[in-house]
Chain A
């Protein structure tokens, strides 16, 4: 299995609080992604990174920010959590074009 871990695996937080999810990889892959998965929507891309300090927005980036200060870590921050951000969040990594993506186990976030 590819070395990719997400933390925490489960989190319950209150509306209005900031939340940070961490994705850590040991594969030295260049590209990292954050997705959210909701029933009826499949996976939707939030943000992605194509190198250290290089990030770009995905389809549903509002309310989220990311940072990548080193190759192995990609952080997703919900600046002020809302109930609509209750979801399962997946991190993925790829080495380059035309290679498969490896996924983390997911983080189940509940905003109450």
Chain B
């Protein structure tokens, strides 16, 4: 089974609203990253949070990390139609070599 699981699987909101996506993972990590994928395209990196950080901001993005619960959330504020995409969390597992594994993704639709 996969390391990461996003919740919800799909989310539909109106433009201007906030969107929150959650990611849960199973094993200890060094960092957690969020990526966006527009339909049929490659993934684009959004933000990285290290295991010793609790919150990070980048523009309209806010990411939190709770290592005790093995979970993270991505908040997109004041959403725009252009934010319509799939969002994935990825984890760099601690120990061993660099193995980055992805979750199953949240499909976000922002309705104009």
| Interface set of A (CB-CB < 8 Å, partner B) | 31, 33, 35, 40-45, 48, 50, 56, 58-59, 90, 92, 94, 96-106
Given contacts A45-B99, A94-B100, contact A105 B41 (CB under 8 A): yes
Count: A-B pairs, CB below 8 Å: 71
| Interface set of B (CB-CB < 8 Å, partner A) | 2, 4, 6, 30-31, 33, 35, 40-45, 48, 50, 88, 90, 92, 97-105
Contact check, A103 vs B42: say whether CB atoms are below 8 A apart.
yes
Complex Cα gap A104–B41 (Å) = 9
Rounded to whole Å, the gap between the CB of A19 and the closest CB of chain B is 20
Contact check, A101 vs B45: say whether CB atoms are below 8 A apart.
yes
- Residues of B near A31 (CB, < 8 A) are 98
Question: Main secondary structure on chain B at its contact with chain A?
Answer: strand
Contact check, A98 vs B42: say whether CB atoms are below 8 A apart.
no
Contact check, B33 vs A101: say whether CB atoms are below 8 A apart.
yes
- Residues of A near B104 (CB, < 8 A) are 40-42
